[in-house]
Amino acid sequence: MAIKPSPRFAILLLSLHTITAIAVYAATMPMAARWAIILPILLSLIYYLARDVLLLLPDSWCDIALNQNSVSVVSRNGSSFLGLVANKTIASPYFVILRIKSDNRRLPVSRVIFPDALGKDEFRDLCVRLKFA
């Protein structure tokens, strides 16, 4: 299943980061401290937009394939890895949080996939496969 950019995920990331930055800016602390906190929030927004929404970074997932017992992921730079669907993977009609446990990594790798990042039938197929995995 080829993953494409998700405008819905971009809007969600932008709104959540904006709300967080406004809350920090409204806090009663010195202005230098506010900017010291807002800067990492802005860098986080840029990073996750580039990696997960626009798929510009080398470790952006471009293609996923679910087999009987494993998941195969291909990144933008052409590298791929195999793993198993990890605990706490969430499949809903609104989004999927896909957690993959790989043998060469200590912690599972997670990505959020919205329906507009896949075709309608592909997203439905992904949800069904994950619920029975």
Among 49-53, 66-70, 108-112, whose mean pLDDT is lowest?
A: 66-70
Return the pLDDT at 26: 94
pLDDT band for 35, please (50, 70, 90 cuts): very high
CATH topology for 61-131 is PH-domain like (2.30.29)
Cβ of 117: how many Cβ atoms within 10 Å?
25
Strand partners, 66: 71
Q: For residue 112, which amino acid is it?
A: V
pLDDT for 130 equals 86
pLDDT at 13 over 90: yes
Alpha helices in 29-119 (DSSP H): 31-48
Both tokens of 57, joined, read 């970074």
